[in-house]
Amino acid sequence: MILVIKNEKKNELGKLVAWIKKQGLDVHTSEGANATVVGLIGDVSRIDIDLIASLEAVDSVKRISEPYKKANIKFHPDDTVVDVGGVKIGGGGFVFIAGPCSVESEEQIIGVAEAVKKSGAQLLRGGAFKPRTSPYAFQGMGEDGIRLLLQAKKATGLGIVTEIMNVNQLPLFCDVDVIQIGARNMQNFDLLKEVGQSDKPVLLKRGLANTVEEWLMSAEYIMSKGNWRVILCERGIRTFEHYTRNTLDVSAIPLLNELTHLPVIADPSHASGLSRLVLPLSLAAAAAGADGLMIEVHNDPEKALCDGAQSIKPEQFDALANKVRGILPCVK
């Protein structure tokens, strides 16, 4: 971190340096003709950048190292590969996670699981606890939904990915393969710390209006508690565009590949909200370097209890998976 000191406040430099040293850091001061620059040396992750910027003597502050350390590729150059019961996410492969937005019945979840497995999906998704905008909308089957997912896992051998909404639900997730943290909970720090203490893979979705750095800091929360099995999922962000539910931030994918060793997947279903856009966005995400896709697939989208408009049918998923596999050799 570098501080530029106001010329007229140079006399306060000694006081400022003493304060910085008290925070456990060293300083390197360079006095030029027009400005005095102070470099902070050491672990600045605990320093409050806004507090420093507000100090009388400080003209500007520039962070030169990222605040996330464990998620940072600079310190961990090798790709993290998250192994979910033999399904490897990250490190050059490509994974398909598919299934309905919500678990609705035994017939539905097992039917969809069997179909997507045939098309090459390696993991089954399905929400049991649903974060709905309206309290009057279907809230998910809860514990029964988890039970049905486990039945589908038994029937097909597919590992299951499902969303947790609060820390009290954690005991219900002991047989779940991947814990999903949804967009709305990306900054639920208590939940992040709690899943950080488990040894289960965590699929961390990007918040609706969060920057890439904030997202990586949320991953850092999980990793700082010891769980490094984190998969990032770009699911679209809020923009001024209203033809689509969200806007898929395709640029976040190659950017994250530069910034972090963690695997990055994309969710084109929530990104667009429109089933007809799921295929082109899937191709775009794969071409941009994603390690996989999470797609909402429903046997009867028109009757879906949640997110029917963005759900594709099993036969559409089959075609999509084929097309994506077709371009992977050109882009990987």
Residue with Cβ nearer ligand PEP (111 or 127)? 127
In angstroms, the CA 74 to CA 234 distance is: 22
Find the binder of Mn ion among 95, 101, 186, 271 (CB under 5 A): 101
In angstroms, the CA 298 to CA 328 distance is: 25
Binding part of the chain for Mn ion, among 4-12, 37-45, 54-62, 97-105 by CB under 5 A, reads 97-105
24 binds, among Mn ion, ligand PEP, none (CB under 5 to 8 A by kind): none
Does position 298 interact with ligand PEP (CB under 6 A)? The reply is no
Find the binder of ligand PEP among 5, 82, 183, 277 (CB under 6 A): 183
CA dihedral (187, 192, 193, 196) in degrees, to 10, reads -150
Does position 205 interact with ligand PEP (CB under 6 A)? The reply is yes
Contacts of 37 (CB under 8 A, 6+ apart): 2, 3, 4, 5, 29, 30
- Spell out, one character per residue from 62 to 101, where the chain touches ligand PEP: x when CB under 6 A holds, - when not: ---------------------------------------x
Q: Which residues pair with 62 in a beta bridge?
A: 2
In angstroms, the CA 204 to CA 309 distance is: 23
In angstroms, the CA 183 to CA 138 distance is: 18
Q: Exposed, middle or buried: residue 142 (CB in 10 Å: 0-12, 13-18, 19+)?
A: middle
Q: Which residues pair with 3 in a beta bridge?
A: 38, 61
- Tell me 68's DSSP state: -
Residue with Cβ nearer ligand PEP (102 or 227)? 102
Buried b (16+ CB within 10 A) or exposed e, 249-259: bbebbebbbeb
Does position 127 interact with ligand PEP (CB under 6 A)? The reply is yes
Residue with Cβ nearer Mn ion (91 or 308)? 308
Closest distance of CB 207 from Mn ion, Å: 15
**Residue with the two structure tokens 């046997």:** 299
- Tell me 33's DSSP state: S
Chain residue whose CB lies nearest ligand PEP: 182
In angstroms, the CA 235 to CA 266 distance is: 6
- Binding to ligand PEP in span 226-265, by CB under 6 A: 235
- Binding to Mn ion in span 13-42, by CB under 5 A: none
Binding part of the chain for ligand PEP, among 75-83, 152-160, 177-185, 317-325 by CB under 6 A, reads 177-185
Does position 222 interact with ligand PEP (CB under 6 A)? The reply is no
Does position 265 interact with Mn ion (CB under 5 A)? The reply is no
Closest distance of CB 297 from ligand PEP, Å: 12
Would you tell me how many other CB atoms lie within 10 Å of the CB of residue 133? 7
126 binds, among ligand PEP, Mn ion, none (CB under 5 to 8 A by kind): none
Q: Which residues pair with 163 in a beta bridge?
A: 180
C-alpha closest to that of 42 among 70, 15, 21: 21
Closest distance of CB 156 from Mn ion, Å: 21
Closest distance of CB 186 from ligand PEP, Å: 8
Find the binder of ligand PEP among 14, 131, 157, 326 (CB under 6 A): 131
Residue with Cβ nearer ligand PEP (52 or 195)? 195
Residue with Cβ nearer ligand PEP (90 or 126)? 126
Per CB under 5 A, residues contacting Mn ion are: 101, 307
Give the binding site for ligand PEP (CB under 6 A): 101, 127, 131, 182-184, 205, 235, 270
